[in-house]
Structure 1
Amino acid sequence: MRVKFGDILQAFEFADISGVVECRTFVCRQTGKIYYQFDQDDLQELEDDELPDDIEDETKYLQIPNSRDLDLGKPLVIAFVREFLPNDLDDVRYIFSKRGAYQKFKGLLSRRGAIDAWHDYRNKARERALRDWCEIQAIEITD
């Protein structure tokens, strides 16, 4: 199947959000079409098409991962800090041993003037991980 990378990335970002709306995203193994499933059994596709009744059939539809599935949470933060803010490594490890870690981490990034570097690092890592995931899943990416 062939899928535009931008479509996979958008579906990943929807799957990655947390808070008020929970969302799972799927790609059809045959057509490459992306489907969005929102919380509370309110099933809908992004363009308001109906979801297939068999969306849970893993032989037909592949669930698109989120950051946790791709190990892009705390391990990515630690790798970034080791490379760009090595003097803050112990502080960041401590920050991530408590609740509210990302908010505190963002505060540290702001104080160090490293927000843009973090966003660039995270975005490149996400793209690399998603492209690797697509390759493993035999999804042919078009740019």
Structure 2
Amino acid sequence: MPVRFGDILQAFEFADASGGMGGCRTFVCRQTGKIYYQFDDDSLQELEDDELPDDIDDETKYLPMPNSRDLSLGKPLVLDFVREHLPSDLDDVRDIFSKRGAYQKFKNLLSRWGAIDAWHDYRNRATKRALRDWCEVHSIEIVD
């Protein structure tokens, strides 16, 4: 059963926003394409409020959505962006990401160079590409 890419993207964003820390986990049913959300109160609900399957933890039927780390969209993506768009700052960015508070410092650097929009576009394209690849690897047919 095909799944709308927008639904996959939304499920990814929910899972990613919680950072895999239990705030929200999302699943896609391999057979029907329905997306299910598990919130930190351990309740599961499907967006359309259908009955929740008893076997939601069966990964042969319900695939947990990845987060940014699972798709290598963190530090590796930042370094790729810097290599391409701000190569003279690569050493500084490597140093920034060796310490706490890296993303705020990185965003400050982007702001100084007027590159925040370029970063967001780059990250959004990479996210969509990685999700499409993830769907292909897991035999999830997507439609736009």
TM-score of the two chains, using structure 2 as the length reference: 0.93
Q: Determine whether 1:95 maps to 2:121.
A: no
Higher deviation after alignment, 68-77 or 47-56: 47-56
Match of 1:60 in 2: 61
Confirm or deny: 8 A CA contact 1:43 1:50 kept in the other structure: no
C-alpha distance in structure 1 between counterparts of 2:34 and 2:100, whole Å: 37
Aligned partner of residue 26 in structure 1, secondary structure: strand
Match of 2:8 in 1: 8
C-alpha distance in structure 2 between counterparts of 1:29 and 1:92, whole Å: 40
C-alpha distance in structure 2 between counterparts of 1:12 and 1:49, whole Å: 20
Match of 1:136 in 2: 137
Confirm or deny: 8 A CA contact 2:14 2:25 kept in the other structure: yes
Q: 1:38 offset after TM fit, Å?
A: 0.9
Aligned partner of residue 127 in structure 1, secondary structure: helix
Aligned partner of residue 44 in structure 1, secondary structure: strand
C-alpha distance in structure 1 between counterparts of 2:42 and 2:51, whole Å: 13
Runs of 5+ consecutive residues of structure 2 not aligned to the other structure: none
Identity %: 82
Runs of 5+ consecutive residues of structure 1 not aligned to the other structure: none
Match of 1:23 in 2: 24
Give the number of equivalent residue pairs: 143
Confirm or deny: 8 A CA contact 2:24 2:38 kept in the other structure: yes
Aligned partner of residue 106 in structure 2, secondary structure: helix
Q: 1:59 offset after TM fit, Å?
A: 1.2
C-alpha distance in structure 1 between counterparts of 2:53 and 2:59, whole Å: 13
C-alpha distance in structure 2 between counterparts of 1:22 and 1:130, whole Å: 21
C-alpha distance in structure 2 between counterparts of 1:78 and 1:97, whole Å: 12
Higher deviation after alignment, 74-83 or 103-112: 103-112
TM-align CA RMSD: 1.6
C-alpha distance in structure 1 between counterparts of 2:51 and 2:125, whole Å: 33
C-alpha distance in structure 2 between counterparts of 1:33 and 1:45, whole Å: 8
Q: Render the CA deviation track for 1:46-87: whole Å, top value 9, x for unaligned.
A: 344443221111111011111100111000000000000011
Q: Determine whether 1:51 maps to 2:52.
A: yes
C-alpha distance in structure 1 between counterparts of 2:107 and 2:18, whole Å: 17
